[in-house]
Chains A and B, each alone.
Chain A
Amino acid sequence: MNLSKYILIVLLSALIGCKSEVPPFELIEQDPKVVLTFNLVSQGQEIAVGDEFVDSQQWPLTLSTLKMYLSDIILLGASEETKLADVELVDIAGKGSATGFNSSYSYIIPEGDYDQLRMSIGLPSDLNATDPTVMPASDPLSLQGAMYWDWATMYVFIMMEARIDTNSDLEYDDNIAFHTGLDTLFRSERSYALTLDIPAFAKDTLHIDIDWDKIFHPADGKRIDLSTTPFFHANVDEDALAASRIFTDNFVKSISIREQ
C-alpha cells in the first residue's frame, strides 16, 4: 500500500543492523516503477468527474463520483509475483479529489517481464470488518475515503454516481447511484492480461480502463436499463441486490488494460 514507508523500514532495519526480518527482496528507488492509472471510458473517450457525455445507449450523462476498493493487487510474470498493494482506494476524481485519494498509484517493482495483473474488486471480509477510526487518515480504510457504511459497519466497495437526462429536457434531473458492498459482492482474484517488459530504471504506465458501456450495456451478459433502474444501494431489497450483483459482475468484466 505504501511502498515508500516499506523502503524506509527496510533501510531503518538495515541501519539498526537488525537482520532477523529480512524481506524476500529489497526494493530501492532505482528499481523500475509501474504506474497504475484508472480511467472511466465510454466509447473510447475518457470520462472525468464533472464531464458531460452520451453513452452507447444515447443517454446524456454527467459523472459525479466513481470510487472503488481494490485489494491484493499483484503483478505476475512467468516466474515473478510482485505484490503491489494490499488495499487501494481508487478515486476517479484523481489528484486533488475531495477524499484525498487518487486515480493513479505508482509502485516500485523488480525488473522483468509481466503478463498479468491480478486483483480483487472490493474488500475481503477481514478487511471489510476494519474499525475505520483506528486507521490514519492516509490509509484507504480510514473514514477519509467516505466509503464507510456506518449503520452496518462495513465498506462500500464500488460507489458510482452520475446524473442523467431521461426526458430529453437537457437537464440532468435524475440520479444514478450504485453503492455496492456486502461480503457476497466481493470479487476475488480477477486476472487481466497485459504485456509489460520493464528494464531497470524504467517507468511504465498501465492504463486500467473501466468501460461504462460494458457495465450497463454489455454485448454479453445482463444489461441495466438506466431509465428504469436508476438508484441502487446494495441492500435495500432483493431487486436492489440483484441489480447490484449484475452491476458488480459487469464492472469486473468491463475492466481492461492498455499500455500507453
Chain B
Amino acid sequence: MKQVALYLSIVFVSVSCSTKKETDAVLKIINPLSIESLKMEIPENNPQSESKIRLGARLFFEPALSRDSSISCGSCHLKEYAFSDTVALSDGVGNKKAARNSPTIVNVGYQPHFMSEGGVKTLELQVIAPLENEDEMALGVIEACRRLNQIPYYQDFFQRVWGDSATPFTLTRSLASFERSIVGGKSPFDDFIDGDSAAISKNAINGMSLFYSDRLACNTCHSGPLLTNFKIENNGLAAEYGDNGLFRLTLDPEDKGKFKVPSLRNISKTFPYMHDGRFKTLDEVIDHYARGGESHPNQHQAINGFELTDREKNDLIDFLESLTDNRFQ
C-alpha cells in the first residue's frame, strides 16, 4: 500500500521535473509491480527453445490428445480469453464436464505450484492431469504418445526437436515449454507503471488506490506483479464447500475451502470467477468481498467486509480491467 503511494508520488514528480529515462530507471528499482521483476524458473532438463515451443503450441491445439479426438488443451484454455474458458465448467470428452473452472494459463510459468490446491509441483507434471482425467481428455499420456507416434507429421517434428519419439518425457516437456512462453505483461497498467501516467484513467487510478488500501486490503493476497502471493487461502465463498480444495491433499480440517490465490492479470477476460465459476462478473466478486464472505471457520481474517459507493466500485472495476493484456485476442 505504501509502495503504491510512494510510487504514485514519484510518477507525478517525474513527469514534471525529470526525464523519462531517469524515471524509468527509478521505477525499475522501486517498482515491484512490473512483470519484468519476476524470474521464471526453467527446469534443467527442459531448457526453452524456439522449435520446442512451436511443437508445444501445436500439441496444445491437437484434438488427437483426447480419447474421442474432440477436444484439445485449447478447447478449455481459449487464447482469446487469456487461455481460460467462458463457462463455469468446460466440456470434456463425451458428455463429461471438468470439475473446476478452467483458469488462465497466461504467466503460468511464474507459478511455484499448480492447480487450485497447489498439489502439482511442475508444469511438466501438470500436463499429465488433463490427459489422464476421465472428465477432461481421458486418453492417458502413454496412449497419447502412441497416437502421436503413428502420425508422420509428429514423428518428424519430435525427431527434429528431441531426436526421439513422443514419450511421456518429450510430450510433457514440449507442452510445458510452450506454456512458459505464454507471458503477458503488456497492459495499460504496465504502461502506467512504466511511467505513462495517461495509460489508465483517473477512475482506474482511484480504483488502484482502493485495491491497495487498508480498507479493502485486496493486496493481502493479490500482491506483487501477478497480483497473487501464490498462497492457498480461504476467501469465504461458502459456509461449507462442496469442493474442499487444499483439504483434499492434506486432509487437515484447517485446510478446508482453501484455494490458490489466482493472478488478477487479464481478469476482465477470465470470467466466470472462482474455482467453480460461481460469479459471472467482477461486480458480483466485489459484492462478495464487500459482504465479508460467508463466514467459513477457515476464512482468512482479511475478508471482513467493507463499504463501497457505486462510484468506487466502478473505479475498482476500471482498475481491474486495466490489467488486461490486449494481445490475447
Contacts and interface: CB of A to CB of B under 8 A. Distances in A.
Given A133-B172, A143-B141, A152-B120, A238 B125 contact: no
Nearest to A237: B244
Nearest to A233: B248
A98 to B, nearest CB: 10
A153 B120 contact: yes
Nearest to A151: B129
Contacts of B167: 133
Given A144-B142, A236-B248, A150 B169 contact: no
A131 B141 CA distance: 14
A134 interface: yes
B119 interface: yes
A133 B141 CA distance: 9
A131 B125 contact: yes
B197 to A, nearest CB: 44
Interface in A142-187: 142-144, 146, 148, 150-153, 182
A132 interface: yes
Which applies to chain B's interface (DSSP): helix, strand, loop or mixed? helix
B142 A143 contact: yes
B124 interface: yes
Given A133-B128, A144-B142, A235-B249, A152 B172 contact: no
Contact of A150 (B129, B244, B253): B129
B291 interface: no
A182 B168 CA distance: 23
B249 A150 contact: no
Interface hub of B140, B248, B253 (most chain A Cβ within 10 A): B248
Interface residues of B, number: 25
Interface in B111-158: 115, 119-122, 124-125, 128-129, 132-133, 140-142
Contacts of B120: 150-153
A133 B132 CA distance: 13
A241 interface: yes
Give the size category of A's interface with B: 20 to 34
A150 B132 contact: yes
A175 B191 CA distance: 57
A133 B168 contact: yes
Contacts of A238: 251, 253
Contacts of A148: 128, 132
A151 B169 contact: no
B248 A133 contact: no
Interface string A103-146: 00000000000000000000000000001111001000011101
Contacts of A134: 45, 169
21 contacts: A133-B141, A133-B167, A133-B169, A133-B172, A134-B45, A143-B128, A144-B142, A148-B132, A150-B125, A150-B128, A150-B129, A150-B132, A151-B115, A151-B119, A152-B119, A152-B120, A153-B125, A182-B251, A235-B249, A235-B251, A238-B251
Interface of B: 45, 115, 119-122, 124-125, 128-129, 132-133, 140-142, 167-169, 172-173, 244, 248-249, 251, 253
Given A143-B128, A241-B251, 10 more contacts: A131-B124, A131-B125, A148-B128, A150-B125, A150-B128, A150-B129, A153-B121, A153-B125, A235-B249, A237-B244
